[in-house]
Structure 1
């Protein structure tokens, strides 16, 4: 009971402080007061999957949803990343990027947040929700995009990526991670000059980011995903009426392909990454999502290779 009362008393002021300080990190980054963290905790590799001594078919960066709080955790305990590594050993997979921290500072490791995690766990999710809206805010979006794009580029180089190598970089994003993935495109193009593929899974984003330098965007969605649908309603740049938005320009250029994963939901026991819910063919929803991602990457890689081989 005492813990509950402490939680209630702390929640109001903490929410107010979070609302006022949500922009803090991106402003600190832009002012140059703190450098982005690149070192990982001991024992955490910069990438898993394909061996570093030979070029992989692609590098895959997983940008998780708002549950991302530290280097190692994901909303599903890492099952999706592990399934991708097991199903596509030709990929090098990075799952440590902090999409909701321009300074790459894991939320759960900050002073004071450990207590909040035990007593007011919801606040950790609210923090990342607010960071998603900061990333979408036209006043802060360029700074946020540059910060997280730089973080991803640094982690890729530490994982062995060589600029101008021609090896594709796949940005696989869940929910609010799509706002970060689409925003990181220009910075990654500038720093690595790599072919870029974006895969959104229940993507929640505002559609404003420029996708000129994306080879293709694959939108994995479901009619039962209400959270993604809300994103298409509340952000005008996702409406077809706003023809000049980055999303609609990419759509007209034929860069966006939609793949249905009905009847999966955004979260819960029937989510895209549920290992418990099964399809009529016996696969779990997690299996189907993993298969879809791997199939898209391999098909894109195969089509690119065939085009290159046909050139004189």
Structure 2
């Protein structure tokens, strides 16, 4: 008991301070006292993958989980992004977005956090956890969505995206990144007028965001993912009885497709992105995840292309696209 009391006395005030400070950056953004950063650190390209001199098959924005601290890093050292680029060279991939910073300010680059990282690295993760709950709080949700949605749109434009081009934008999110991805839908649709596809990997989100403007959300999940299940229990908007939530409206509209990954866990040696955990067919969990994401993107693009080609053969569609086409 004494050990527990000591832990509570030490960690309790830290949790309280983080809960208060987590709102600070968002309020600065809302007040207009600071402009979100758009310049990237030296050596970080606007995107990787398909060359900028021709349209890519899709733009993919990777929104990592709570381990995201810099423009460069991700929880797996960049292995998932590398696997995606190796398997789908037609993609243009952005991994620099800071999902837990409304001001697009990398956490690890701030002097006070550099000091803390050497002495109490756990606080870096705690900060990002608190940011997820700020983003999910109905009082701050609209402002947070606008802040990070605008950041994503800015980075896409810097990477060569042109509004109204029709090139798909895929938001691939891990864990708490799903809260940011679902919240960015309206801003991206309005700003870039882009076809949007969401892919969540162990997605932890509150289910409140309206994702009706996304074409589809693919939910990559596992029965062994306890952290994702906590989100489905914790947030009432994820409960089936709350029929009016953004999540449940999307499910009824057929916009949510679940893909089950047997044997995967949220984190650890059997996580979705583990290169060490091996499936019966010899692939690693990392291979399965990368191949599934690529297959979903290509299949979705193919289905959309088939629909457009089929519709184009109808007189109504041709007349709508070219009002003078059927006039004689």
Superposition pairs for residues 57-68 of structure 1, below 5 Å? 57-68=57-68
Q: Distance in 1 between matches of 2:211 and 2:17?
A: 34
> For structure 1, which segment, 255-264 or 19-28, has the greater mean C-alpha deviation from structure 2 after superposition?
19-28
Q: Secondary structure at the match of 2:111?
A: coil
Residue in 2 that maps onto 1:156: 156
Structure 1 residue 305 displacement after superposition: 1.0
The answer for the alignment partner of 2:204 in structure 1 is 204
Any idea what the Cα deviations from partners look like across 1:130-174, whole Å, max 9, x if unmatched?
A: 000000000000000000000000000000000000000000000
Give the equivalent residue in structure 1 for 2:326.
none
SS of residue matched to 2:258:
strand
Number of the residue aligned with 2:140 = 140
Q: Which residue of 2 aligns with 1:35?
A: 35
State the structure with more CA Rg. 2
Structure 2: which 5+ runs fail to align?
A: 1-7, 314-328
Deviations 1:211-231 (A, max 9, x none): 110000000000000000000
> What is residue 53 of structure 1 aligned with on the other side?
53
Tell me, yes or no, if the aligned pair for 1:15 and 1:123 is still in contact at 8 Å: no
Deviation at 1:59, TM superposition (A): 0.2
DSSP 3-state at the match of 1:33: coil
Determine the structure 1 residue equivalent to 2:69: 69
* Greater alpha carbon shift after TM alignment, 13-22 vs 55-64: 13-22
The aligned residue for residue 262 of structure 1 is 262
Aligned partners of 1:71 and 1:245: how far apart in 2? 33
Instruction: State TM-score, norm by structure 1.
Output: 0.96
Contact 1:80 1:273 in 2 (8 A): yes
**Contact kept? 1:11, 1:120, Cα under 8 Å:** no
- 19-28 vs 197-206, which deviates more? 19-28
For residues 228 and 14 of structure 1, the distance between their equivalents in structure 2, rounded to whole angstroms, comes to 25
TM-score, length basis structure 2: 0.91
Q: Which residue of 2 aligns with 1:304?
A: 304
Q: Distance in 2 between matches of 1:79 and 1:12?
A: 35
**What residue number does 1:113 align with?**
113
Root-mean-square deviation over aligned CA pairs: 1.3
Partner of 1:295: 295
Consecutive unaligned residues of structure 1, counting only runs of 5 or more, are: 1-7
Q: Distance in 2 between matches of 1:10 and 1:225?
A: 30
Q: CA deviation at 1:18?
A: 1.7
Equivalent pair of 1:46/1:155 in contact (CA under 8 Å): yes
Separation in 2, partners of 1:103, 1:228:
27
More divergent stretch after superposition (15-24 vs 225-234): 15-24
Distance 1:93 1:159 in 2: 9
- State the partner residue of 1:101: 101
Residue of structure 2 in register with 1:191 after alignment: 191
Q: What is the DSSP-based 3-state SS (H/G/I as helix, E as strand, rest coil) of the residue aligned with 2:184?
A: helix
SS in 2 for 1:112: helix
SS in 1 for 2:173: strand
Q: May I ask how many residue pairs the two structures share in their alignment?
A: 305
Q: What is the distance in 2 between the residues matched to 1:95 and 1:219? A: 20
1:176 partnered with 2:176: yes
Q: Establish whether residue 272 from structure 1 lines up as the match of residue 272 from structure 2.
A: yes
Instruction: Encode CA deviations 1:101-158: one digit per residue, 9 max, x unaligned.
Output: 0000000011211111111111000000000000000000000000000000000000
Q: Alignment partner of 1:290: what SS? A: helix
| Structure 1 Cα separation of the partners of residues 27 and 190 of structure 2 | 22
SS in 1 for 2:219: strand
CA distance in 2, matches of 1:194, 1:177: 20
Asked whether the equivalents of residues 202 and 225 of structure 1 are also in contact (C-alpha less than 8 Å), the reply is: yes
The DSSP-based 3-state class of the residue aligned with 2:197 is strand
